[in-house]
Amino acid sequence: MLHIYCPHCEELREEEEFHCSGEAHIARPLDPDNCTDAEWGEYIFFRKNPRGIQHEMWYHTTGCRKFFNVTRDTQTYEIKEVYKIGEQPKVVAEG
Amino acid sequence: MSQKNRLQSGGRVDRSKALTFTYNGRQYKGYQGDSVASALLANGVDIVARSFKYSRPRGIVAAGAEEPNAVLQLGATEATQVPNVRATQQELYNGLVCSATNGWPSVESDWMGMMGKLGGKMMPPGFYYKTFMFPQSMWPTYEKFIRKAAGLGRAPTERDEDEYDIVNQHCDLMVVGAGPAGLMAALTAARSGARVIIADEQSEFGGHLLSSRERIEGKPAAEWVAGIVAELAKLPEVTMLPRSVVNGYHDHNFLTINENRTDYMADKAPEGQVRQRMHRVRAHWVVLATGAHERPLVFGNNDVPGCMVASAVSTYINRYGVVPGNKLVLMTTNDGAYQTALDWADAGREVVAVVDTRSNPQGERIEAVRKRGIKVITGSGVIDVQGKKRVSGVSVAGLDAKGEKVTGNVQQLSCDTVASSGGWSPVVHLSCHAGVRPVWSDEAIGFVPGPSVQNQLIAGGISGTYALDKVLAEGAKAGQEAVAKLGLAASEVALPNVRKVSEGTPMALYHIPHTKPTSRAPKQFVDYQNDVTAAGIELATREGFESIEHVKRYTAMGFGTDQGKLGNINGMAITAAVLGKSIPETGTTVFRPNYTPIAFGAIAGRNCGPLFEPKRFTAMHKWHVENGAEFEDVGQWKRPWYYPKNGETMQQALDRECVATRESVGILDASTLGKIDIQGKDAREFLGRVYTNAWAKLAVGKCRYGLMCGEDGMVFDDGVTSCLGENHFVMTTTTGGAAHVMEWLELYHQTEWPELEVYFTSVTDHWSTMTISGPNSRKLLSELCDDIDLDKDSFKFMDWREGTVAGVPARVFRISFTGELSFEINVQANYGLHVWEKLFEHGAKYNLTPYGTETMHILRAEKGFIIAGQDTDGSMTPIDLGMSWCVSNNKPFSYIGKRGMAREDCVRENRKQMVGLKTKDPKVVLPEGAQAVADTKQPIPMDLLGHVSSSYWSANLNRSVALGFIKGGLDRMGETVYYPLADGRVIEAEICSPIFLDPKGERQNV
Amino acid sequence: MQRYSGFGLLKHSLSYHENWQRVWRNPTPKKKYDVIIIGAGGHGLATAYYLAKEHGITNVAVLEKGHLGGGNICRNTTIVRSNYLWDESAALYEHSMKLWEGLSQDLNYNQMFSQRGVYHTCHTLGDLRTNERLVYANRLQGVDNEMVYADQLQKEIPALDCSKDARYPILGASVQRRGGNARHDAVAWGYARAADALGVDLIQNCEVVDMEINDGKITGVKTKQYGVIKADRVGCVTAGNSGVMAKMAGFKLPVESHPLQALVSEPIKPFLDTVVMSNHVHGYMSQSDKGDLVIGAGIDGWVGYGQRGSYGIIEHTIQAIVELFPLTSRVRMNRQWGGIVDACPDASPILSETPVKNLFFNCGWGTGGFKGTPGSGNVFAHTLAHGKAHPLAEPFSLNRFNTGALIDEHGAAGVAH
């Protein structure tokens, strides 16, 4: 079970308090009406799904109800960092 | 019966406390401090099981968690049956009842044993893949017989009355194992003030020191242990958990411990106590001090009762005062096992010989054995065993230097016990649980933990360190390291004084060759529980199963309840030998949780039965119960479904509720609908982005219905949102969708549009909501409300007003889900029951009729209103639902769902669209879920046009009504479709408008 | 291929089982193949077998980075059923079901396919509605499925708690009586042996590290152990690693890889002869021929390639099982493990052409992979042989995620196990 530091509550909490919301840093296209079907499909469905470093969003469901970002190794499950929405990760995948 | 193998003195059993127990229906005696296994051995019980495949008699082999054979059914009553209890780990208590799990008529003389002998030759590994195929139709019959032979123990047939609980723990250091290494680690850390949990599966701390005759600080090891335990007990930050198996070591230093609270004293927990407790531990650091398991050697007929692991023999003698036989032959590849010969001799029984596979073993213990006049046969091995139900003798032969071939003559020795030691396997199990593969160590002749990304340290046997002085030092070092990592001040811990023993080099040997090739030699067992033999492993490897994973799966090696603790390394060695590879080249062996099996009840804790999930009740629940409501589960809520009166059938009750509502007035408890309070200067803009329709112009005091879609344009929720103030709204959602909608709003606000100033608060539980609906609803309300002008022109349809109802502050919404004149009264939840009861006081004269979810469904279906989640399934756009009126195309912002709805497939023709369905025979109600076809004569698979999503008998219309989906349905009004049913009937229906009643909406506008 | 039979066993027992043939060769790869299949899991091996058997294409290599049959095929809970909601899914899974029936004989390898029935329990009116809809659809799609209600269900499965005082009382169940279990390893090994016998090269310990793509067309793969191996067409069947392979080929997939956990009890005397699944309380269970209770848990909600998930999921699953079968409270859990499932947004697989010519992907089976094995292999072999999708595979294209023609099985089952 993951042990997750909520950057808003500033505490380590059990995974059970959170809900993972998938890949982070996927911005909603600013002009959806001018997206092609393929561009829209890319936005809503296609994912990097990396084996290794991934940036993902978590929601502190039963805590502060805030979203935040987590950089996590999807193979070892190590959490490398947490950072708030709007911030950029310091740990990034090589290559 | 006398305990013929019990020593007069010695061991840790309390001879003043005799216990009686029953095994296979017969009474035996043992002592306090015995395990079931030691008590059985004390009484000379040889056979404890019949093997899985060959039904061979099996005896106790080991003394701990690694025991593969002594797996018993325990329990004195039906409700307290426990299947598959390992006799070596079960403490004896007075009145304990247990039995062997297989064998007919008895485990002693099992008729299946005959079959095993006859058919055994036809059962090489994987035989079942090669047969039982012909004819195809016979497999169920074959399987019936296979299943008859399946399983060890049995589940009880009565409910478990015991309770289990779960506690969460946090600590600086979790020490797993309270042997010498674990105790030193715990002591070192605890003295520095660290918060320590130390757990051990045994009843007492001390690990192997409890069964050893070693001395520490000049005193018996157990005395030293007692001193340490006493000190730990005094330290306030130390939690000591004996009888506690650390069964899983998960990511982020999360561990689970199964604490046996009462199993050691009874099969049913005493009143007021929990049977077992799971500790869920988060540890900053973990020291694994789990020790090592001795490996038996693999040789011919090594499963005959009387064949045991050497250290287990010592444990029975030293810890339990039980010598499990009279004449011992000991076979070893190392010095350590010589101690067993000394222990046996000291117990006053005969050591026939020590057979050492090494040609020139030298070491202190060997000298000691030789000095006692015990014969040591070097460069040799026990190649097979004689005896059926107990060892009667062994064949010993000379081996070549590598132990690969028999070289010398074969000599026979008479004995009743064969102890063997092939060295030790570090107990690496927990270190594997978080995905780390163990690595081979030539020095330890075993796998040791691989590098971990967790805050994990190891000490003692697990790291391949077996000499006591080094084990103690490693334990202290691990404790110091943990202290340093935790940033605590180091404290002095002196290493205890232990006499060092000089030892010779052990030999890496696993499988003792026979004069015959392995395939023809007597069976040489590797995994006792699954009847896996050396020949079987060789055959599997020859057949092409070369990866160790393949070998394990093909032979079932390691898949037993012991998870291959004794056998896996031996099996890998045999595979490696066939392939001419080293053990690590064939792969590693990965262990998964649990370390030892854990009761389901313990894992579930109290979260079963009534506490499986919370039940949510509305404030009026008591009234519903008292008034005979039947309930429906909606999410976690218990909602009134319908209110049968005086023996009414469900349909009769529904008819009455439906008619009463449309003729006079009905009332629904709608409190479970999700309610979200939305405030902020951009609240209105936000609503416009998450709903498909327009919100810019909704005035204060007005309500509006909205549809919510995903980015794919598919409807997922709906509800009415009301404007409370220029920057203040209250949104309602479906009962089941409330939590999801809340997260959805937060997601978009926090991650996409943080620049919008808007705040969301869930207020579902704050309000009680009751809807009065029907032509008399205004009259009824007016009796209880004098500060809202209820006149139809000042309080219009889709308006809301704040006022007082039944003396209580209320929000009243003039919205309708029935198509009737309706008022939705919202009051603080605390007042809910009061207002509800007041309504009934005044409503009696109007025949105010409570109705539940089912009548609500019927009334709205008559009006063609959808229920999100029933009429939608995630594949419908608003257009598909015929709700284009609820989609705005001229909002400046491209709201959620707009682009999705415009994708190629969403705008194609012939999509399934929601329509009304009128059965040709008005008395016939279409079953929900039924599928429409255009032509009933098509062959199967038929072309399905769509399903019926809602369907009811309408008492008001005196006919059935249904909503459903039809390909291109909106353009097919008046056409006929057919619904073939399972019983062969076909229901004919006409496609029509989904609005069956009052299409102009006049009834709600009065 | 040496035929297996009871008689063969008897014969070989007389020679101490010393003369059994190898089940498959251990060939060194050729320089070039007509078709390379990446991944020797169940679906990859089945694809190879049907390519050789039904399309006569035997110049085929299956490249496997570890040992064959070592992925999800050996980690699943072995449930086979075909009662899916949408026409496209029902057709594909039913195609698979028909191949299951007779697979032992076709492969001459006992799959231990037991059609003991798969029940989906209904705990709410919504559950009932969903399952009734499924039953109506399935019967017209040619898939057997029927409803049984609480009293009858209690008779059919005595150990199941159908009492009214449960937290979520069981109101009924849909049951596909042709559904059941098969022996997972036998599927992999049976297909491997049969494919090998037809001339397919199974190359184990051969990891694909890159793809040779020129002008948008694949011409071969680069392996860690054997360098470049050329191929006219390449089929990628690497569940649990699909995203990584797609990245190699230069595109993304609408797939996320999640841990899916399972567990078994100790072997106990059989008391459950069917498969019971509850989407509402989230647990499902069958009992193997060895006596183990085989229990499936839910998917972990985050991406994970570690073949393990969170303990909370195990806890919740066990709670559900004790809730459904109170008599398991004293039974003990022996072992847990995890697989990696490639989950698609619509809980339906991808059997498709890709942006790279001659490169085809078969992935995204989520939790439904095992039951789909024969059908998946069969239609994917056709796709590889013809260079375009089999009619049953057409709806399962990658392009559906652009057009919106999803085949959404979530709504149908809550969780599409």
* Residue A89: inside a domain: no
| Contact call for residues B642 and B657 (beta carbons, < 8 A) | yes
Nearest CA in chain B to C74: B553
Chains that touch A (3 or more CB pairs under 8 A): B, C
Nearest to B928 among C129, C137, C183 (CB): C129
Q: Which residue has the tokens 């009743």?
A: B416
Q: How many Cβ atoms are within 10 Å of B492's Cβ, its own excluded?
A: 7
- Does A51 sit within 8 Å of C312, measured CB to CB? no
Alpha carbon distance B49, B68 (integer Å)? 10
Give the range among B110-119, B193-202, B495-504, C220-229 with minimum mean pLDDT: B110-119
**H/E run at residue B169:** strand B164-176
With a CB cutoff of 8 Å and minimum separation 6, the contacts of B26 are: B1
Structure confidence at residue B476 (pLDDT): 98
The answer for B 167-226 residues in CB contact with A (under 8 A) is none
d(CA B788, CA B814): 12
Residues 6+ apart with CB under 8 A from B21: B27, B28, B29, B30, B36, B39, B92, B93, B94, B95, B96, B97, B98
The single residue listed with the structure tokens 């709670």 is: C319
Q: Does B251 touch chain A (CB under 8 A)?
A: yes
- State both tokens at B250: 């998960």
Which candidate in B67, B133, B138, B146 is best for mutational testing of the C interface (most C CBs within 10 A)? B133
All residues of chain A having their beta carbon less than 8 Å from the beta carbon of residue C401 are 41, 45-46
Integer Cα distance of C261 and C77 in angstroms: 10
Q: Which residues contact C214 (CB under 8 A, 6 or more apart)?
A: none
Q: Which chain B residues have a beta carbon less than 8 Å from that of A31?
A: 894
Q: In three state form, how does the secondary structure of B738-799 look?
A: HHHHHHHHHHHHHHHCCCCCCEEEECHHHEEEEEEECCCHHHHHHHHCCCCCCCCCCCCCCE
Q: Give the residue from chain A lying closest to B897, CA to CA.
A: A32
Is this complex's ipTM strictly greater than 0.85? Answer: yes
Domain presence at residue A52: yes
Contacts of B930 in chain C (CB under 8 A): 136
Residues 6+ apart with CB under 8 A from B915: B882, B963, B964, B965, B966, B969, B970, B972, B973, B991, B992, B993, B994
Over residues B680-709, the mean pLDDT reads: 97
Tokens at C251, concatenated: 């595109």
- Would the pLDDT of C272 be above 90? yes
Residue B852 pLDDT: 98
- Distance of residue A26 Cα from the nearest chain B Cα, in angstroms: 9
Instruction: Specify if A16 maps to a domain.
Output: yes
Give, in degrees to the nearest 5, the angle at Cα B387 between B384 and B390.
Answer: 115
Out of B250, B453, B894, closest to residue A78 by CB: B453
Average pLDDT over residues C288-301: 94
The whole-number pLDDT of residue A95 equals: 62
Q: Examine residue A64 and state whether it is found in any structural domain, yes or no.
A: yes
- Assigned token pair, B171: 């600590």
What pLDDT was estimated at residue C414?
41
Task: Return phi, psi of residue B755, to 5°.
Answer: -70, -15
Cross-chain Cβ contact A48/C252 below 8 Å: yes
Measured on CA atoms in the order B980, B985, B991, B996, is the torsion positive or negative? Answer: negative
C311-367: pLDDT as tens digits:
999 999 999 999 999 999 999 999 999 999 999 999 999 999 999 999 999 999 999
Q: What's residue B109's pLDDT?
A: 82
Residues C14, B83: Cα–Cα separation, whole Å: 38
pLDDT given at position C416? 32
Domains of chain B: 164-289+426-486 (3.50.50.60), 621-663 (no CATH), 674-762 (3.30.70.1400), 766-845 (3.30.1360.120), 860-881+907-998 (2.40.30.110)
Query: Chain C residues with CB inside 8 Å of A55's CB?
Result: none
Phi, psi (deg, nearest 5) at residue B687: -60, -40
Residue of B nearest to A87 (CA): B751
Residue numbers in A near C311 (CB within 8 A): 1
- Which domain CATH number covers A79? 3.30.2270.10
**HSE (side-chain half, CA atoms, 13 Å) at B296:** 31
pLDDT along chain A (95 residues), means of 10: 97 97 97 97 97 98 97 97 97 85
Contact partners for chain B, using 3 or more CB pairs closer than 8 A, are A, C
Length of chain A: 95
DSSP-assigned letter for residue B924: P
Tokens of B323: 């010598």
What is chain C's mean pLDDT, rounded?
A: 96
**B898 contact residues in A (CB cutoff 8 A):** 32-33
| Range B796-821 average pLDDT | 98
Alpha carbon distances (Å) from C143 to B544, B720, C97, C98 = 39, 41, 9, 10
For residues B164 and B602, the answer to whether their CB atoms sit within 8 Å is yes
* Whether pLDDT at C417 is above 80: no
The verdict on residue A34 lying in a domain is yes
Phi, psi torsion values for B425, nearest 5 degrees = -110, 115
List chains adjacent to chain C, taking adjacency as at least 3 C-beta pairs closer than 8 Å: A, B
- CA-nearest of B136, B539, B553, B132 to C189 is B553
State which amino acid sits at residue B444. Answer: A
pLDDT value of residue B282: 98
Buried residues in B294-317 as b, exposed as e (16+ CB within 10 A): bbbbbbbbbbbbbbbbbbbbbbbb
Contact A47 C252 (CB under 8 A): yes
Residue B743 sits at the chain A interface (C-beta within 8 Å):
yes
- Model confidence at C411, pLDDT cuts 50, 70, 90, reads low
Q: Which residues of B touch C204 (CB under 8 A)?
A: 547
- What is the mean pLDDT of the segment spanning C254-270? 97
Task: State how far the Cα of B161 lies from the Cα of B79, in Å rounded to an integer.
Answer: 7
* pLDDT tens per residue across span B466-478: 999 999 999 999 9
- Interhelix angle for C184-197 vs B548-555, to 10°? 120
Instruction: Please choose, from the candidates C271, C80, C262, the residue with its C-alpha nearest in 3D space to the C-alpha of residue C182.
Output: C80
Q: Which residues of B touch C410 (CB under 8 A)?
A: 874
Residue B198 is predicted with a pLDDT of 98
Window from B243-247, B557-561, B674-678, C380-384 with minimum mean pLDDT: B557-561
Confidence of residue B702 (pLDDT cuts 50, 70, 90): very high
What's the structural domain count of chain A? 1
Is A19 within a domain?
yes
pLDDT band (50, 70, 90) for residue B434: very high
Length of chain C, please? 417
Specify the pLDDT at position C415: 36
Task: Look up the domain containing A21 and give its range.
Answer: 3-84
Segment B365-394, tens digit of pLDDT: 999 999 999 999 999 999 999 999 999 999
Handedness of CA C124, C128, C134, C137 (dihedral sign): negative
- Catalogue all structural domains in chain C, each as residue range(s) with its CATH number: 27-82+84-108+184-255+346-413 (3.50.50.60), 118-182+257-343 (3.30.9.10)
Whether omega before B594 lies within 30 degrees of 0, making that bond cis, reads yes
Average pLDDT, chain B: 96
The contacts of residue B741 (CB under 8 Å, 6+ apart) are B674, B676, B708, B717, B731, B733
**Strands B276-288 and C180-181, sheet pairing:** unpaired
Chain C contact for B612 (CB, 8 A cutoff): yes
Evaluate whether residue A14 is within a structural domain. yes
Chain A contacts to B (CB-CB under 8 A): 1-3, 14, 19, 21, 27-28, 31-33, 35, 37, 40-41, 43-44, 57, 59, 61, 65-67, 76-79, 85-86
Q: Please check the confidence at residue C412 and state whether its pLDDT lies above 60.
A: no
